[in-house]
Structure 1
């Protein structure tokens, strides 16, 4: 259960990689996983893996186990049991009950199309309507609206204040838990202190920071790495059908990922074993070498 009245101090470094099983790991996924792993290990920390399987319609059958096998083949070994969000239903429900008890949630019937017609920013239309839960979403009353934060790579991030102040969704109309609820509750549950992930999540970070504040819990330290994009400007993603990385010969992709992250591995490292590449990378890891660019074009 998440304690809404517990402002915990940060523990020793605890990082995580949290892939969605909507597809297999591609180069962009590897860059994120590698950066989060190396930052944790270089700082004598713990590295966890969390499978974000809360959206069954989008999941690829067998993807979870294949993702874990890929991580292992690339020498990225997690330190504790894998957490599956699909097994976190009880703690999500307990958190929702606590929020409801504190009158921090309400039911909402508005559709995306309706909100788009209003300019794209939800104006808390349903906050005072006392709607029933059936076929309605659950929104968080957001009186915090954090719209700035310091990122260890990107520096000061300033978002749209109106977006940051939105009452955002915690449970969708179809009954599935929303990403913002699951990610924050699980980061608290696992006592995550550092999050290294892609720049596509800069804006959601603002909402998550607001949610941490509402839950009266310390937020992690965030580091957002550049997105790998195609020459046409498309992000490498499962949705864009980016090719899966090769499990049988991981060394070339590992070296490419290290170069992408600005770590400048020596040429002869590509002839070494995966274990030796990872050992070198942990020893020589330097977060400050990662560019502040939010996107990098790859061929």
Structure 2
């Protein structure tokens, strides 16, 4: 489709101050959009200001559990991107209210405001019949969004990497403290790590009309690696030798019942359920062109980005040469 936006249009980005959000905001700012970052704590979104010109990016208070705040955030906007999601439940932040009903509320309010351009961030593995509550809520959110705005574009990335990610950083930090790393399910689950900058570019292009209206795109990087291979890569990159211990899914679920009680859970039962299935781009998406390549984006290899931020986990930080083995 040809680009149909007007330079200076307001795009409301729900969750704009988060990991993926800051990259989406930057990609949109570079295209001349004005961005309204709808976040729960605007006072903590100051890091977005340098990503655009003076007055181009503005943070406003909004909570997708509050319909009135959604409507205020959408006032005068020409398009909307919803990036809000949670990795685990805590307090009033529940999968159903945030990733299902919340996504639906944003789309319904956007439709009521006459907005027809929307990008919904989901995840590979979203499935209404999944044993994972996370995956089910993502699928329900997709369905509600498309019901309200049929031409909306859904993006499903695999695990996303980048300087602020919660995957490579988490395991690198764990390796710095623990002599062993668990391989859930034996470490056979396959992933297709995708660079956060590529995900942001996909969102921007979809908003510009370069994606198939109403389509669901699956976003993965150029390589497929098992969980074990990723752990081995992290250890090699931070120069630490650790024992990789296979943990059967059944035992992992039992351990997760305890670990998920921590203030910031190291592992939840729901996450174990997700690990029971591969997290890669489907052959159907590849055949239909519903991928990064289909959007004209060449996927970035993790080797070109991950080393730039894992250096701090080496014994002497960035001054230690990659691949140097240490205890």
| TM-score bucket of the superposed structures, by smaller chain | 0.3 to 0.5
TM-score scaled to structure 2, two decimals? Answer: 0.31
Q: Which has the higher helix share?
A: 2
Name the structure, 1 or 2, with higher relative contact order (CA <8 Å, separation 6+): 1
TM norm structure 1: 0.33
